Amino acid sequence: RMHFLHAALTSGLLESLDGPRTRAELLSDLDVKRPELLDALLELGVSLGELGRDGGGYRLKGGRARALRKEKNDALSAMVQANVTYYNSVFQGFDRRLKGGGLDEGLGAIGPLVARVSKIADPYVEHFLSGIVRGKGPLRVLDVGCGSGSHLRRAVEVNPEVTAIGLDSDPEVVRKARENVALWGLEGRVHLEEGDVRSLPADAKGPFDLVLVFSVIYYFGEDEREDVLRKIRDSLAPEGRVALVTSCRGEGADLFSANLNLATSSMAGLTPLPEVTEMENQLRAAGFAEVRRSRLIPRTTYFGFLAS
């Protein structure tokens, strides 16, 4: 089913089926040069119940196919694509890596796809962030691995007295985030810098009242996380805090985190997810006296940590 949905997405079939379509119309819509492949895909879709066939026409039938066609469900579309491409490569090369072969080098190529998938969790992360910044007066915020800048947008919308710096090591990500900030009309309050938290650029020095570390801790080696957190602590104002969000290893209790952990363990540039207590201990070892955690999504091991 997942493979059918991926093919239907990427070929344009789902987009074309905005209503009943005949085979001839689909051949034209999709500029098909191999009709036998379209016929095979349509037959598979009907067999799965994702497509309906009425006379000589086809229509969307299954709930998954209908959901994926909606623009607002782009994160679901990205998840389908990730499972067929990104996660498939993890499993296909597993035996070789298990015996000491090199890790998958495709991190750069799948970055935009992973960013789209992560949008599924955005409402939960934004709720966590809003509770931290709302009504707290003037705050200077640093977002480590800021991506699109959406979390900083949320922070300044919730608290009009927030000023923020977004930091990302990918120049293309920074360029796009700057475009977003301009589009949102936030250029006076949100600034973007290219760089690494391990060596903050001159324009991204502290002190900060709040540092965000959202879904990036597994980009740092297990043996360097404590040092990274210590550098973050050193950049904080005396009453400053760090807000950290990550999936954690769940000992089989969370399918999504278990799948993600296998992927992050298999790719060059990523590392295994932390365990919950391990993450708390690393924050304390880095010098944070008070560490609190919240389960952001019920029945998962997706946690927010707030340390001061």
Token pair 């955690």: residue:
293
* pLDDT for residue 108: 60
Q: Report the distance separating Cα 306 and Cα 213, nearest Å.
A: 10
Does position 92 have pLDDT exceeding 70, yes or no?
A: yes
**Residue 104's pLDDT band (boundaries 50, 70, 90)?**
confident
Which pair of tokens denotes residue 129? Answer: 């962030």
Instruction: Give the per-residue SS3 of 163-207.
Output: EEEEEECCHHHHHHHHHHHHHHCCCCCEEEEECECCECCHHHCCC
The pLDDT mean for the chain works out to: 92
Does position 207 have pLDDT exceeding 80, yes or no?
A: yes
Which pair of tokens denotes residue 177? Answer: 């985030």
Peptide bond into 207 cis (omega under 30): yes
> What is the tens place of the pLDDT at every residue in 145-192?
998 999 999 999 999 999 999 999 989 889 999 999 999 999 999 999
**Residue 109's pLDDT band (boundaries 50, 70, 90)?**
low
Cβ-contact 181, 211 below 8 angstroms:
no
* pLDDT for residue 292: 98
Cβ-contact 266, 103 below 8 angstroms:
yes
> What is the tens place of the pLDDT at every residue in 40-49?
999 999 999 9
C-alpha distances in Å from residue 69, one per residue of 23, 78, 278: 19, 12, 40
Q: Report the distance separating Cα 291 and Cα 4, nearest Å.
A: 45
Tell me the average pLDDT across 22-28: 96
Please, what are the domains in the chain? 2-69 (1.10.10.10), 76-114 (no CATH), 120-307 (3.40.50.150)
- CA-nearest of 221, 227, 279 to 249 is 279
Q: Report the distance separating Cα 146 and Cα 35, nearest Å.
A: 45
C-alpha distances in Å from residue 159, one per residue of 46, 133, 147: 50, 6, 20
SS3 (DSSP) at 106: coil
* pLDDT for residue 87: 78
199 CB contacts (<8 Å, ≥6 apart)?
A: none
Is the Cα torsion angle 64, 66, 71, 72 positive or negative in sign? negative
Alpha carbon 75 to chain centroid, angstroms: 9
* pLDDT for residue 4: 96
Burial of 108 (0-12, 13-18, 19+ CB in 10 A): exposed
Does position 105 have pLDDT exceeding 80, yes or no?
A: no
Tell me the average pLDDT across 48-65: 94
How many C-beta atoms lie closer than 10 Å to residue 223's C-beta? 8
Alpha carbon 268 to chain centroid, angstroms: 17
Angle in degrees, 0-180, between the axes of helices 225-234 and 276-285, rounded to the nearest 10 = 50
63-67, 183-187, 197-201: least confident range: 197-201
**Residue 38's pLDDT band (boundaries 50, 70, 90)?**
very high
Which pair of tokens denotes residue 42? Answer: 């349509």
Does position 66 have pLDDT exceeding 70, yes or no?
A: yes
Q: Report the distance separating Cα 200 and Cα 40, nearest Å.
A: 54
Question: Averaging pLDDT over each range in 66-80, 112-126, 216-230, which range is the top one?
Answer: 216-230
